[in-house]
Amino acid sequence: MPSSRSLVAFIGIASVGIALTACQDQASGQIVARNGVRLVETVSNPPIHGCHRFPEGVTHVENQTQSNLVLYTTPDCTVPPGGQSNYLDIGQSDQVARVAGLWRSFSFASE
């Protein structure tokens, strides 16, 4: 019987390890995007790699994930000449300054 307990314990530990590894490719939580008071998009557990486009420009972003974001005014996560991006910490929100334009995309900051 002791060997069957060891096998069950090993399988349990391996399952937890696989689950934790799978979660590393996603940001746990939600990103809420609004244009004024109107909800534009809520993204749940997005992949942490690549550029993410909002379906339209947004004025307000809430970062309810466990990862830091970078917001961009371009749809392809680039900073145009003379433009800007904005770093958004875990659990923070940001309202775009009117002179900057609308937020059109985001990516996750390197940690």
Residues spanned by the domain of 80: 27-108
Q: Is residue 5 part of a domain?
A: no
Number of domains, the chain: 1
Residues in the chain: 111
pLDDT tens-place string over residues 46-105: 999 999 999 999 999 999 999 999 999 999 999 999 888 899 999 888 876 666 789 999
Could you tell me the pTM of the whole model? 0.74
CATH number where 56 lies: 2.60.20
